[in-house]
């Protein structure tokens, strides 16, 4: 079947505050890619782009921020989450828009995606399932995704070198705030409602969402928030830094060369700076310090809600907070899990708890009666505990509802793989068809439709409930109401409290493999 493509000299054109942009229409969806939302010099705050005359084309994605040199850049996971790469530059303040209308009176809800990759890697287009076409086509929303500064470019504190660098430690977040301000000022031209903006993100992107709710400068720029596997307290491995800022800066400058100085730090090509930073990190860790990248508490960012008082405006923001069942823990058994006997499932699922196996398996079956018990050993130990504490605090101190989910769907990959980190993303975007491992006959299509509808409904109304799912109740400061998203979905009260308490008492906290070498010899517990 032929699909319609439209791109004329004068259509489709949208006028923004800075000037006119021309995108294109493909199969009924308007696409505007690579829109520059801000400019910024290295380590400085972003500023509005200069106005232009005439019409500027917006048909190609903008630069990604250069990534750090962590092992995560090794190609991996294409069956579960296909990836793509793109040219890089620190001048990466670009966003993309998908919409099925450019009528200024359409007033559609807006979903702004913040990508994962910790605070060091990733981009708005890193995963093919980040594409907003189906959200616009099937769910009637305007979808926006964006890039911003990361790692040393977005979070190096050089405030000691001048007033213009006073918020350099949060430059990456300042970019995001600038992008949301662009949305506030311009999204109406793309059919969007600037008073119904939902920010959503996964992993590091979820961390960005939760951090934005602690930034007073973001007040009024969004009205709903979704944190997917992203409750990342300020003392989390991703952000934990015990090294003084001046030491970090000195070590990077030293690695830039014997004659390097602060001006060298400002002018070194990005790839040289990234490599020097990687060597400096190793030096700093060898001295006994921790070093991470991410937001820094100061007068601009109030610090993680997990450890600080809640920002006043965020009390009025309805929030969904979710995690995947296994996150970084799924074990590859390479056997048909469905064919296992109950005895075999029990043995595999509880093996790491030794003599306490029976107690653990009893708690697991009470928490997840519909989940194959061989997955009991895969229960998330990275995000779930922090997420629960966040939910209690946010629900107790907020005027707006707070919802929780655990995504527990099982893929047939490797004889059975239960929802790992990133499993919920393709379904949130209505893009499960882009992910080979999530082609589950009789299941994927309905989950694709329903999970994305819940997200879109939340963006539109602040309530995720849809007729096709059980009633999703909000949490309170005393009890968590968790929607277990699975073949049999159900909303249950405090379903895994006893299970998580057992895990906290009996299990070291599991950090993802890509952090082990960086912090060799260090153990972290809940």
State the DSSP string of 109-146.
EEEEEE--STTTS--TTSBGGG--HHHHHHH--EEEEE
Question: Which H or E run contains 242?
Answer: none
CB 116 within 8 A of CB 422: yes
**C-alpha span between 399 and 387 (Å, rounded):** 19
Tokens of 426: 């393709």
Q: Taking 90 as the threshold, does the pLDDT of residue 284 lie above it?
A: yes
Q: Across residues 335-364, what is the average pLDDT?
A: 95
Q: Taking 90 as the threshold, does the pLDDT of residue 5 lie above it?
A: yes
* Long-range Cβ contacts of 296-300 (<8 Å, 24+ apart): 296/155, 296/157, 296/169, 296/170, 297/234, 298/167, 298/169, 298/170, 300/167, 300/170, 300/174, 300/215, 300/216, 300/217
Q: Could you give the strand order of the β-sheet that contains 55-57, starting from the edge strand earlier in sequence?
A: 13-15, 20-22, 55-57
Residue 105 CB coordination number (10 Å): 7
Lowest mean pLDDT of 69-78, 295-304, 353-362, 438-447, name the range: 69-78
pLDDT interval class at 96 (50, 70, 90): very high
pLDDT, mean over the chain = 93
**C-alpha span between 84 and 373 (Å, rounded):** 35
Question: Of 448, 431, 439, 433, which Cα lies nearest the Cα of 134?
Answer: 431
* Long-range Cβ contacts of 69-75 (<8 Å, 24+ apart): 69/274, 69/275, 69/278, 70/120, 70/121, 70/514, 70/518, 71/514, 71/517, 72/117, 72/121, 72/514, 73/121
- Integer CA distances (angstroms), 93 to 41, 49, 63, 281, in order: 11, 10, 8, 26
Strand, helix or coil for residue 515? helix
pLDDT per residue as tens digits for the range 457-485: 999 999 999 999 999 999 999 999 999 99
Strand, helix or coil for residue 381? coil
Q: Taking 50 as the threshold, does the pLDDT of residue 518 lie above it?
A: no
Tokens of 67: 């990534």
Lowest mean pLDDT of 250-264, 322-336, 397-411, name the range: 322-336
pLDDT at residue 271, rounded to an integer: 92
Q: Across residues 278-299, what is the average pLDDT?
A: 94
Q: What is the percent of the chain where pLDDT is above 70?
A: 95
Q: Taking 60 as the threshold, does the pLDDT of residue 512 lie above it?
A: no
Question: Which H or E run contains 263?
Answer: helix 262-267
pLDDT interval class at 330 (50, 70, 90): confident
**C-alpha span between 19 and 156 (Å, rounded):** 33
pLDDT at residue 508, rounded to an integer: 63
pLDDT at residue 71, rounded to an integer: 45
Backbone φ and ψ for 490, nearest 5 degrees, come out as: -155, 150
What DSSP character marks residue 8? B
pLDDT at residue 517, rounded to an integer: 41
Q: Taking 50 as the threshold, does the pLDDT of residue 495 lie above it?
A: yes
pLDDT interval class at 378 (50, 70, 90): very high
Q: Taking 80 as the threshold, does the pLDDT of residue 396 lie above it?
A: yes
CB 8 within 8 A of CB 28: no
CB 395 within 8 A of CB 457: no
Question: Which H or E run contains 425?
Answer: helix 425-428
Q: Taking 90 as the threshold, does the pLDDT of residue 521 lie above it?
A: no
pLDDT interval class at 77 (50, 70, 90): confident
Strand, helix or coil for residue 21? strand
Q: Where exactly are the structural domains of the chain?
A: 5-67+90-232, 245-286, 321-388+401-515
Please tell me the pTM assigned to this model: 0.95
- Residues 6 or more apart in contact with residue 505 via CB below 8 angstroms: none
**C-alpha span between 111 and 146 (Å, rounded):** 11
pLDDT at residue 509, rounded to an integer: 57
Q: For helices 270-286 and 245-255, give the axis angle rounded to 10 degrees.
A: 120
Q: Across residues 206-220, what is the average pLDDT?
A: 98
pLDDT per residue as tens digits for the range 215-272: 999 999 999 999 999 999 887 877 889 999 999 999 999 999 999 999 999 999 999 9
Q: Across residues 307-323, what is the average pLDDT?
A: 97
**C-alpha span between 409 and 77 (Å, rounded):** 17
pLDDT at residue 520, rounded to an integer: 38
pLDDT per residue as tens digits for the range 117-136: 999 999 999 999 999 999 99
pLDDT at residue 236, rounded to an integer: 80
Alpha carbon dihedral 337, 338, 340, 346, in 10-degree steps, equals: 70
The CATH-assigned architecture of domain 5-67+90-232 is 3-Layer(aba) Sandwich (3.40)
């Amino acid at each position: 079947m032929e699909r319609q493509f439209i791109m004329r000299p004068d259509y489709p054109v949208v006028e923004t505050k800075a000037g006119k942009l021309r995108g294109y229409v493909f199969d009924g969806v308007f696409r505007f890619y690579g829109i520059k939302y801000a400019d910024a010099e290295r380590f400085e705050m972003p500023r509005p782009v200069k106005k232009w005359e005439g019409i500027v084309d917006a048909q190609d994605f903008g630069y990604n921020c250069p990534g750090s040199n962590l092992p995560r850049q090794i190609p991996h996971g294409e069956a579960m989450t296909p990836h793509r790469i793109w040219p890089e530059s620190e001048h990466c303040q670009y966003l993309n828009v998908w919409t099925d209308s450019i009528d200024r009176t359409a007033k559609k809800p807006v979903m702004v995606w913040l990508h994962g990759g910790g605070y060091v890697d990733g981009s708005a287009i890193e995963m093919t399932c980040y594409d907003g076409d189906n959200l616009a086509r099937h769910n009637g929303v305007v979808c926006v995704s964006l890039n911003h500064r990361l790692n040393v470019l977005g979070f190096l504190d050089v405030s000691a070198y001048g007033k213009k660098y006073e918020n350099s430690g949060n430059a990456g977040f300042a970019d995001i705030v600038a992008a949301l301000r662009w949305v506030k000022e311009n999204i109406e031209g793309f059919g969007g409602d600037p008073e119904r903006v939902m920010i959503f993100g996964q992993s590091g992107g979820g961390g960005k969402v939760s951090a934005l709710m602690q930034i007073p400068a973001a007040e009024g720029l969004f009205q709903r928030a979704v944190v997917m596997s992203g409750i990342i307290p300020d003392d989390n491995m991703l952000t934990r830094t015990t090294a003084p800022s001046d030491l970090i800066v000195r070590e990077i400058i030293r690695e830039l060369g014997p004659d390097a100085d602060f001006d060298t730090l400002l002018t070194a090509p990005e790839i040289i700076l990234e490599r020097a930073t990687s060597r400096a990190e190793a030096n700093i860790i060898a001295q006994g310090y921790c070093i991470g990248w991410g937001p820094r508490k100061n007068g601009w960012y109030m610090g993680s809600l997990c450890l600080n008082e809640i920002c006043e405006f965020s009390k009025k923001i309805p929030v969904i907070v979710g995690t995947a069942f296994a996150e970084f823990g799924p074990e590859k058994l390479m056997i048909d899990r469905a064919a296992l006997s109950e005895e075999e499932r029990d043995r595999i699922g509880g093996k790491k708890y030794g003599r306490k196996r029976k107690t653990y398996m009893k708690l697991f079956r009470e928490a997840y009666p519909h989940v194959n018990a061989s997955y009991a050993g895969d229960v998330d130990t990275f995000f779930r505990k922090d997420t629960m504490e966040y939910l209690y605090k946010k629900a107790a101190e907020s005027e707006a509802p707070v919802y929780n989910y655990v995504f527990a769907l099982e893929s047939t990959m490797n004889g059975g793989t239960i929802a790992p980190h990133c499993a919920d993303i393709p379904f949130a975007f209505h893009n499960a068809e882009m992910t080979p491992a999530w082609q589950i006959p009789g299941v994927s299509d309905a989950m694709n439709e329903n999970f994305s509808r819940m997200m879109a409904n939340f963006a539109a109304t602040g309530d995720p409930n849809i007729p096709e799912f059980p009633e999703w109740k909000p949490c309170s400061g005393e009890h968590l109401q968790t929607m277990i998203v699975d073949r049999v979905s159900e909303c249950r009260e405090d379903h895994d409290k006893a299970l998580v308490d057992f895990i906290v008492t009996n299990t070291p906290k599991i950090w993802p493999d890509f952090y082990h070498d960086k912090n060799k010899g260090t153990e972290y517990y809940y």
